[in-house]
Structure 1
Amino acid sequence: MTRRDAPGAPPDADALAFLTRPGLTRLWTAVRARLERNGLQPTGTVRLQNLDAQECEALSLLLAKPLTAPNATIRLADLDTRLRASAVGRGLAATLAELGPPLTDRRAAREATAAERTRLWSTAEETLTATPLGDQPWSRQWLEEIRRSGTLTRQSSRRPSDHSSQTALTTVTQAIQTLATLFPGTGPDSTPTPTPATWGRGELATRTTGSAHGLDDGTLLARLVLRGIALAQDVEFPTDAPSRRALWRRASVTPDEVSSTVLTYGLRPTGGTWQETALRERADHHLETHLTLRELRTVRLELTPRTRIHVCENPRIVEAAADAGCTAPLICTSGSATTVVLTLLDALAATGCAFAYHGDFDWAGIALANRVMQRYEATTPWRMNAADYEYLITRSQVHGTPQLSLTGAPVVAMWDRELTPLMQALGIALHEEGALDLLLEDLG
Structure 2
Amino acid sequence: MTSTAGPGMAAGEPEASGSERGMTARARAWLDQPALARLWDRLRDRLERNGLQVRGRLRLDGVTVAEREALALLTGRPYAGGTVSIALADLDAQLRTGAAERGLVEVVAELRGPLTDRPAARDARRAAAEATWSAADHALRSHGLADANWPRPWLEEVRRAGTLARLAPDNARRLIVQAIDIMAVLTGPGAALGAVASDVAGLPGRGELAERVTGTAHGLDDGTLLSRIVLRALARVMEVPPPQDARTRRELWEAAGVAVDRVSTTVLTLGLAPLGDEPAVRLLRDRTRAGYETHLTLRDLTRVTWRLPPGTEVFVCENPRVVEAAADRGCVRPLVCASGNPTTTALTLLDALHAAGARLTYRGDFDWPGIAIANRVIDRYAARPWRMRAADYEQHVATARDRGTPLLPLTGAPVDALWDPELTPAMTALGVAVQEESALELLLTDLLSA
Residue 153 (str. 1) matches residue 164 (str. 2):
yes
Structure 2 contact 41–112 (Cα < 8 Å) conserved: no
TM-score, normalization by structure 2: 0.53
Q: Distance in 1 between matches of 2:177 and 2:164?
A: 13
SS of 2:146's equivalent?
A: helix
**Aligned twin of 2:117:** 105
**Aligned twin of 2:227:** 222
Q: 2:217 aligns with which of 194, 212, 218?
A: 212
Residue 276 of structure 1 deviates from its aligned partner by 13
Structure 2 contact 210–219 (Cα < 8 Å) conserved: yes
SS of 1:120's equivalent?
A: helix
Change (3 A) 1:97 1:237: closer
SS of 1:47's equivalent?
A: strand
Q: 2:170 aligns with which of 166, 172, 175?
A: 166
Change (3 A) 1:293 1:84: farther
Residue 243 of structure 1 deviates from its aligned partner by 3.4
Q: Distance in 1 between matches of 2:285 and 2:263?
A: 19
Q: 1:60 aligns with which of 72, 81, 91?
A: 72
Q: Distance in 2 between matches of 1:128 and 1:251?
A: 19
**Aligned twin of 2:247:** 242
SS of 2:140's equivalent?
A: helix
The residue type equivalent to 1:153 in the other structure is: L
The residue type equivalent to 1:166 in the other structure is: D
Residue 34 of structure 1 deviates from its aligned partner by 0.5
Residue 253 (str. 1) matches residue 253 (str. 2):
no
**Aligned twin of 1:3:** 3
SS of 1:207's equivalent?
A: helix
Identity of aligned residues (%): 43
Say which structure, 1 or 2, has more relative contact order (CA 8 Å, 6+ apart). 2
Alignment length (residue pairs): 274
Q: Distance in 1 between matches of 2:204 and 2:76?
A: 77
Change (3 A) 1:296 1:105: farther
Residue 34 (str. 1) matches residue 38 (str. 2):
no
SS of 1:73's equivalent?
A: strand
Change (3 A) 1:260 1:238: closer
Q: Distance in 2 between matches of 1:104 and 1:129?
A: 37
Q: Distance in 2 between matches of 1:174 and 1:100?
A: 41
Structure 1 contact 259–292 (Cα < 8 Å) conserved: no
Matches within 5 A, 1:303-314: none
Q: Distance in 1 between matches of 2:166 and 2:229?
A: 14
Residue 139 (str. 1) matches residue 113 (str. 2):
no
Q: 2:36 aligns with which of 14, 20, 24?
A: 24
Residue 232 of structure 1 deviates from its aligned partner by 2.8
Matches within 5 A, 1:198-347: 198-256=203-261, 258=263
Q: Distance in 2 between matches of 1:220 and 1:7?
A: 51
SS of 1:137's equivalent?
A: coil
Query: Once the two structures are superposed, what CA deviation does each residue of 1:215-258 show, in whole Å capped at 9, x if it has no partner?
Result: 12232222222222233334443344333323222322112364
Q: Distance in 2 between matches of 1:19 and 1:127?
A: 55
Q: Distance in 2 between matches of 1:237 and 1:292?
A: 27
Structure 1 contact 182–194 (Cα < 8 Å) conserved: no
User: What are the ranges of 5 or more consecutive residues in structure 2 without an aligned counterpart?
Assistant: 5-14, 267-271, 274-281, 288-294, 302-319, 329-450
The root-mean-square deviation of aligned C-alpha atoms, in Å, is: 3.9
SS of 1:46's equivalent?
A: strand
TM-score, normalization by structure 1: 0.53
Q: Distance in 1 between matches of 2:79 and 2:161?
A: 49
Residue 186 of structure 1 deviates from its aligned partner by 7.8
Change (3 A) 1:240 1:81: same
Change (3 A) 1:17 1:258: same
Structure 2 contact 203–258 (Cα < 8 Å) conserved: yes
Structure 1 contact 155–167 (Cα < 8 Å) conserved: no
Query: Once the two structures are superposed, what CA deviation does each residue of 1:385-426 show, in whole Å capped at 9, x if it has no partner?
Result: xxxxxxxxxxxxxxxxxxxxxxxxxxxxxxxxxxxxxxxxxx
SS of 2:86's equivalent?
A: strand
Structure 2 contact 131–173 (Cα < 8 Å) conserved: no
Structure 2 contact 140–146 (Cα < 8 Å) conserved: yes
Query: Once the two structures are superposed, what CA deviation does each residue of 1:101-127 show, in whole Å capped at 9, x if it has no partner?
Result: 111111111111111101111111111
